[in-house]
Structures are given as structure tokens and as C-alpha cells.
Amino acid sequence: MSEAVRKIIIKKVKKKHGEGHHGGSWKVAYADFVTAMMAFFLLLWLLSMVSTEKRAVMAEYFKNFSLFKESGKTFQPGSAFVITDHIKKAELKPENVAMSLRKAIRGKGAGQQGAQGKAQGQGQGQEEALMEHVRIDAVDGGVRIQIIDKEGSPMFQLGSAEPTEKAREILAAVAEVINDQDAKIAIEGHTDAAPFRGDQITNWELSTNRASSARRMLESSGLDPARVARVVGYADTDLLVKESPKDPQNRRISIILLQPKDGGAAMTALKKEAQGSMQPPLPALPASPAAQAQPMQPPTQAQQAPAEAAAAEVRDKEQSARQALQEKKAVMKKKKRDVMGLWD
């Protein structure tokens, strides 16, 4: 009977997991924080890699940016601030042009390899062979691309303005580089000092005809004719190798990318303003020989009092001017930091 009235007790045991586990929501927040920090430091790194001209243009763009006035297209010509145009003008440097030209030649060589099935080594050899005929340097007013002759490898037929196949390939690549810029160009033709044997033309006509032939090749490759500023021939008056007037390298075509006058306007204006404000005062002019020849007489006591007052006044003015100059320097330094996008 005692077994019938025995109570049955049921014990439920809950399995416990590891202590300190609160779910995975913290991982999402931590991942967002790490992503934001990575983006922030990546932005700082990119800003440090940007040139001073680009940074000034970007700062000017965001300084005067208006979402309702300058976004999208506008019917008012010239009212929008196009940052890409200013960046292109600032990037007109010999090293950038050389890199773009090599890339264009490599791209055209890759296209020919795909059509003809050439090996990669042959393509690189052809690229180097074409780049041996090119020299790029900076000149007054722009960047100059020179296409020169080599011994046994001319760019034009002998005594003619007909370009060779190598010259056509180089000019096509040069046209691709020029089309990426917005600068006007000048084309110059040069010859060596060897006398021309033709009865009808001289080195003057030959150099001018070759420059005009290069212009036609550039225009056939997509260059806008309105961007050609001048086409001239110099004959043998501007030799590249002056020690050897008959050197083949003197026979060349020079294509000059003219630097736009308004390129980097924000940075130029800032530099001019800073230089004008920090220019030291001009020194006093020396006395004339006639004044130096006259004997110096000691001043009287009546004359010393006004002189001392004038000297004190000059010292006060110099002190005020020096203090104003220091204040203006501080203001200009702060303005420069604001324009460059730097913070204290």
C-alpha cells in the first residue's frame, strides 16, 4: 500500500553552454567599426598621395559646391566647375606623358599580336624598338614629344615627307595620348645639316612638309584640327646633336603639348597672394656720389630733437609693420591649410 501512495518527482535538467556567451551581435558592430576605420585610413593615405595641384583643385571644388546649382547638366554655358579638366591640366608632366605613350604603344602592339598571333617577347621587343625613337622632355610652355631618326631606321623616306610604318605607329600612339589631354599642340619639323640634293626644294621645305605630314597623320588618328596651334619647319637651325650636325637624330618631328594658361588657377593665385604678403621690404637706395662727396657736418642740438622724434616714429612704424606682417603670415598659413584640406 505504501508503494501506491509514493510521489513521483520529475526533475528537469537544463544544459548550460559556455559561460560569457551573449550572442553574435557584437561581431556585427565590431566589423562595422573596423570597416569604418579602414576606410578612414585609406582616405588619409590617398590624400597624402595626391599632388598639391590636385588637392587645391579638389578643395576649391568642395568649397564652392552646391547641390542645387552645380549638379547634373546646366543650360548656362561655363557655369559648372568641371574638376576633371583642371586635373588634366595639372597632370601635364613629362613623366606622365611618357607613361601614357608607352601604355598606348603597348596597347596597339597587343592588338596587333592578337590579330597576327605573335609571341609576347616579340611584342615587348617591338615596344622598346618604337620607344627608342621617342624623347620626352619639358620646355617653356609645355611638354615636348620628339620622334627622332636612328641610324638605319628613319622615320621618313629619304628626301621625302612620306612617313615609314614605324612613324605611323608612333604617331597613332601620340595621337591617343594627345586626345586624353585638352591642350593645344605645336608641330615642328627638323632636318640635319646635310645639303638637300633636290633642285626644287631645300631643307626648309622638307622640314615643313614633314611637319605637315605628321599633322595629317595625327588628324587621321582622331585629333581635332582645331587643337593644332602651329605647324612650322626649322630645317637645320635647331640641331639636337650640335656636336655632329649630320647625326641622324637631328632629323626629327617635335610635338609640343602647350600648357593651358589657366591650369592650376587656384594654386597659382594662392602662391602669388602668399608671395605678395610675405615679400620683405625693399632696402633703402644708396646715396648719390654727389651727396657722398659733401663733407658731413655735426648736427646742432636744435636739429637733434626733431631727428630723434622722427627716428622714434620710424621705429614705431617698423614695429607696427612687422607685427602686421606676422599677423598676415598667420592668416595666410591658416588659409593655405584650409585650401589644402589640412587640419591642425
Question: What pLDDT does residue 3 have?
Answer: 58
Residue 8 pLDDT class (50, 70, 90 cuts)? confident
**Phi (first) and psi of residue 231, to 5 degrees:** -135, 115
The more confidently predicted of residues 205 and 55 is 205
In terms of pLDDT, which residue wins out, 242 or 287? 242
Q: pLDDT tens digits, residue range 216-237?
A: 999 999 999 999 999 999 999 9
Task: Give the CA angle between residues 292, 294, 299 to the nearest 5°.
Answer: 100
Structure confidence at residue 197 (pLDDT)? 66
Q: How confident is the model at residue 135 (pLDDT cuts 50, 70, 90)?
A: very high
pLDDT at 114 over 60: no
Q: What is the pLDDT of residue 54?
A: 80
What whole-number percentage of the chain has pLDDT above 70? 65
Residue 148 lies in a domain: yes
| CB burial readout 23-44, b (16+ within 10 A) else e | eeeeeeeeeeeeeeeeeeeeee
Bigger pLDDT: 281 or 335?
A: 335
Per residue in 188-198, pLDDT (tens digit) is 999 998 887 66
User: Listing from the earlier edge strand, what are the strands of the sheet with 252-258?
Assistant: 134-139, 142-148, 252-258, 185-190, 228-233
Note the pLDDT of residue 194. 86
- Distance CA(28)–CA(36), nearest Å, equals 12
For residue 251, tell me if it sits in a domain.
yes
Tell me whether residue 130 is in a domain.
yes
Q: What's residue 273's pLDDT?
A: 47
Rounded Cα distance, 266 and 83, in Å: 12
Distance separating alpha carbons of residues 332 and 344, to the nearest angstrom: 14
What is the pLDDT averaged over residues 129-150?
A: 90
- Asked, for residue 113, whether it belongs to a domain, the answer is yes
Query: Does the residue 281 lie in any domain?
Result: no
Half-sphere exposure of 204 (CA within 13 A, CB side): 2
Of residues 329 and 23, more confidence is placed in: 329
Highest-scoring range by mean pLDDT, 21-25, 45-49, 324-328, 335-339: 45-49
**The pTM is what?**
0.51
Q: What is the chain's mean pLDDT, rounded?
A: 75
Question: What local confidence, expressed as pLDDT, does residue 141 receive?
Answer: 81
Confidence of residue 297 (pLDDT cuts 50, 70, 90): low
Grid cell locating 180: 586624353
How would residue 144 be classed by pLDDT, with cut points 50, 70 and 90? Answer: very high
User: Nearest 5°: phi and psi at 197?
Assistant: -85, -10
In a domain, 197, yes or no: yes
Adjacent-strand bridge partners of 230:
186
Pick from 236, 127, 255: which is nearest to 185 by CA? 255
The three state secondary structure string of 209-240 is: HHHHHHHHHHHHCCCCHHHEEEEEECCCCCCC
In a domain, 84, yes or no: no
**What pLDDT is recorded for position 172?**
93
The count of domains in the chain is 1
DSSP-assigned beta bridge partners for residue 138: 143
Query: Residue 86 and residue 161: Cα distance in Å, rounded?
Result: 37
pLDDT at residue 177, rounded to an integer:
92
Place of cell 625613337: 133
Residues composing the chain: 344
Check whether 211 has a pLDDT greater than 60.
yes
Q: Is the pLDDT of residue 307 over 70?
A: no
Residue 198 phi, psi dihedral angles, 5° rounding:
-70, 150
pLDDT band of 213, cuts 50, 70, 90? very high
> CATH number of the domain that 135 lies in?
3.30.1330.60
CB-CB contact of 217 with 161 (8 Å): no
Residue 31, domain member (yes or no)? no
* 343 or 148: which leads in pLDDT: 148
Pick from 71-75, 93-97, 153-157, 255-259: least confident:
71-75
With helix as H, strand as E and coil as C, how does 256-280 read? Answer: EEECCCCCCHHHHHHHHHHHHHCCC
Name the residue with higher pLDDT: 234 or 118. Answer: 234
Q: Which domain holds residue 122?
A: 94-258
Name which residue leads in pLDDT, 160 or 19. Answer: 160
Q: What are phi and psi of 41, to 5 degrees?
A: -70, -30
| Interval 79-85 mean pLDDT | 49
Of residues 213 and 287, the one with the higher pLDDT is 213
At 177, phi and psi to the nearest 5?
-70, -40
How many Cβ atoms sit within 10 Å of the Cβ of residue 2?
5
